[in-house]
């Protein structure tokens, strides 16, 4: 298990320390926790972040590196489920978050756009519906019947989402942590929290997404730990997939990295119930499916340099939970991105921080954890 992203160079970080009680303690130093820490420290609060591992060593350093706008559902489905105003508002809100990520992340984020592809005629109809809904609501998205390069003939059309990005997620989150530390946030790595009530803080944010299941019993049925698996090839000498690509409702996702390697994740549906777990290990069945598909994508037997598993938090309605944990004084949550947390995690970290700082907004209503109680 060697997540490619975590091999990146360390990012130097200041090490401020607070004496005694803080305003806010955050459990989890992934994208959510670091984003919240930066916002709160910028807002003048004393912040302490705990993680049982090091910064970005959870899903934030183990994902596919897709930085997509929107939520985990297709836009047309989101519009139907959450209502047109809420869905459109959420999409625009994440587009703005991507812009801020670009400002903060430097070369950790490129924005070549992404391809959502139709693997068959049924999926073509579905994503055509998504394209039309985006278009009706004035959101960007280009429909492609004629797909470029190696995609032609293999997929039945697709949508180019122009503003989407490819993230080096560990580099991005480590930089976010460095910004937060510069603003005064204290980081306590390799400190596992087993009781949120014991933390010496006025507010506590649980930012553990798919990890830390059971830490807050009230959330145990709302955010289900779910495993994702990834492989990365040795560099290949031609550029085949120069942006994030995904198909089969996002079950399969792949992109070529700047050094020529191809990263592929997915095939969770090969054994979907087994993947409802927080055991962070790869399995032969899914690894074999990934290798087979990677061979088809690159036209040769792939030489694999990296393989790993990570855990994300899935929710029933595919929307995150952000806000106060019902019935618990001073306890907040931001998590449950349903496999779509690079941009949402960043945005929801800011959102929960803003809520603590006294701001409200439509996203807080939509993501209210009380909907599951
Ligand atoms: C294989 C895979 C591929 C994915 N691909 C994508 C993608 O391409 N695009 C996308 O947008 N999203 C993707 N995701 C989802 C995305 O990675 C996550 O939603 C996001 O990183 C969540 O960030 P986070 O900060 O909320 O949680 P995490 O990054 O998971 O961080 C949680 C942290 O909490 C810590 N923690 C847990 N319990 C405790 C405790 N008791 N005490 C102290 N610390 C604790 C953990 O050590 C961990 O570091 C993927 C996820 C996986 C697993």
Index of the ligand 1 atom closest to the CA of residue 207: 26
Distance CA 294, CA 163 (A): 26
Q: Are 304 and 282 in contact (CB under 8 A)?
A: no
Index of the ligand 1 atom closest to the CA of residue 337: 19
Digit-coded pLDDT (tens) for 223-282: 999 999 999 999 999 999 999 999 999 999 999 999 999 999 999 998 999 999 999 999
Mean pLDDT of the chain, nearest integer = 97
Confidence label for 1 from pLDDT (cuts 50, 70 and 90): low
Residue 334 is predicted with a pLDDT of 98
Index of the ligand 1 atom closest to the CA of residue 33: 25
Best of 58, 71, 165, 194 for a ligand 1 pocket test (most atoms within 8 Å of beta carbon)? 58
Q: What is the mean pLDDT of residues 331-341?
A: 98
**What does the H/E/C string look like for 146-215?**
CCCHHHCCCCCCEEEECCCEEECHHHHHHHHHHHHHHCCCEEEECCCCCCHHHCCEEEEEECCCCCCCCC
If you measure from the C-alpha of residue 59 to the centroid of ligand 1, how many angstroms do you get, rounded to a whole number? 3
Distance CA 330, CA 98 (A): 29
Structure tokens, 293: 């598909």
For ligand 1, atom 18, the nearest C-alpha belongs to 341
Angle CA 195–198–202, to nearest 5? 120
Nearest Cα residue to 176 out of 346, 366, 368, 5: 346
Index of the ligand 1 atom closest to the CA of residue 229: 1
Q: Measured between alpha carbons, how far is residue 3 from residues 58, 130, 211, 305 in Å? A: 10, 33, 17, 10
Q: What is the mean pLDDT of residues 24-41?
A: 98
**DSSP per-residue codes, 307-367:** EEEEEEEE-TTS--EEEEPTT-TTEEEEE--TT-HHHHHHHHHHHHHHHHTT---HHHHHT
Nearest Cα residue to 134 out of 75, 90, 67, 68: 75
Index of the ligand 1 atom closest to the CA of residue 51: 44
Name the residue with tokens 């489905």. 77
Residue 84 is predicted with a pLDDT of 95
Distance CA 272, CA 275 (A): 5
Residue 373 is predicted with a pLDDT of 83
The angle, 0 to 180 degrees and rounded to 10, between the axes of the packed helices 31-42 and 169-182 is: 20
Sign for the CA dihedral angle at 146, 131, 134, 75 comes to negative
Digit-coded pLDDT (tens) for 121-155: 999 999 999 999 999 999 999 999 999 999 998 99
Best of 37, 341, 343, 352 for a ligand 1 pocket test (most atoms within 8 Å of beta carbon)? 341
If you measure from the C-alpha of residue 171 to the centroid of ligand 1, how many angstroms do you get, rounded to a whole number? 14
Digit-coded pLDDT (tens) for 178-194: 999 999 999 999 999 99
Best of 312, 338, 343 for a ligand 1 pocket test (most atoms within 8 Å of beta carbon)? 312
Sign for the CA dihedral angle at 3, 314, 367, 49 comes to negative
Q: What is the mean pLDDT of residues 55-68?
A: 98
Percent of the chain with pLDDT over 90: 97
Digit-coded pLDDT (tens) for 293-315: 999 999 999 899 999 999 999 99
Distance CA 322, CA 206 (A): 10
Site residues for ligand 1, CB cut-off 6 Å: 27-33, 50-53, 57-60, 62-66, 192-193, 207-212, 215, 228, 230, 265, 310-312, 335, 337, 339-343, 345
């Amino acid at each position: 298990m060697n997540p490619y992203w975590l091999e990146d160079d360390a990012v130097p970080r200041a090490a401020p320390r607070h004496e005694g009680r803080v305003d806010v303690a955050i459990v989890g130093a992934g994208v959510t926790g670091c984003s919240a820490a930066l916002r709160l420290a910028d807002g003048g609060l004393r912040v302490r972040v705990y993680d049982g591992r090091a910064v970005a060593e959870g899903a934030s350093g183990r994902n596919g590196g897709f930085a997509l706008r929107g939520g985990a559902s297709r836009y047309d489905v989101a519009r139907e489920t959450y209502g047109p105003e809420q869905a459109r508002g959420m999409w625009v809100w994440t587009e703005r978050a991507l812009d801020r990520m670009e400002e903060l992340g430097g070369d950790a984020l490129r924005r070549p756009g992404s391809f959502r592809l139709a693997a068959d005629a049924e999926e073509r109809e579905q994503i055509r519906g998504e394209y039309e809904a985006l278009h009706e609501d004035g959101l960007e998205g280009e429909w492609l019947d004629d797909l470029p390069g190696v995609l032609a003939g293999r997929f039945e059309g697709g949508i180019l989402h122009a503003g989407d990005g490819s993230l080096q997620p560990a580099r991005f989150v480590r930089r976010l942590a460095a910004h937060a530390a510069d603003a005064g946030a204290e980081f306590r790595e390799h400190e596992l929290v087993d009781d949120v009530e014991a933390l010496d803080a006025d507010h506590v944010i649980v930012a553990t997404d798919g990890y830390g299941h059971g830490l807050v019993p009230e959330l145990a049925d709302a955010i289900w730990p779910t495993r994702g698996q990834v492989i990365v090839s040795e560099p290949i000498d031609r550029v085949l997939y120069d942006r994030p690509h995904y198909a089969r409702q996002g079950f399969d996702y792949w992109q070529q990295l700047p050094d020529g390697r191809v990263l592929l994740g997915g095939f969770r549906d090969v054994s979907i119930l087994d993947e409802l777990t927080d055991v962070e290990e790869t399995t032969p069945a899914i690894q074999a499916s990934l290798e087979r598909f990677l061979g088809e994508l690159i036209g040769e037997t792939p030489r694999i340099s990296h393989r790993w598993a990570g855990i994300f938090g899935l929710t029933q309605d595919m929307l995150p939970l952000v806000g106060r944990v019902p019935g618990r004084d001073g306890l907040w949550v931001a998590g449950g991105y349903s496999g779509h947390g690079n941009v949402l995690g960043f945005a929801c970290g800011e959102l929960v921080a803003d809520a603590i700082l006294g701001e409200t907004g439509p996203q807080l209503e939509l993501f209210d954890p009380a909907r599951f109680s």
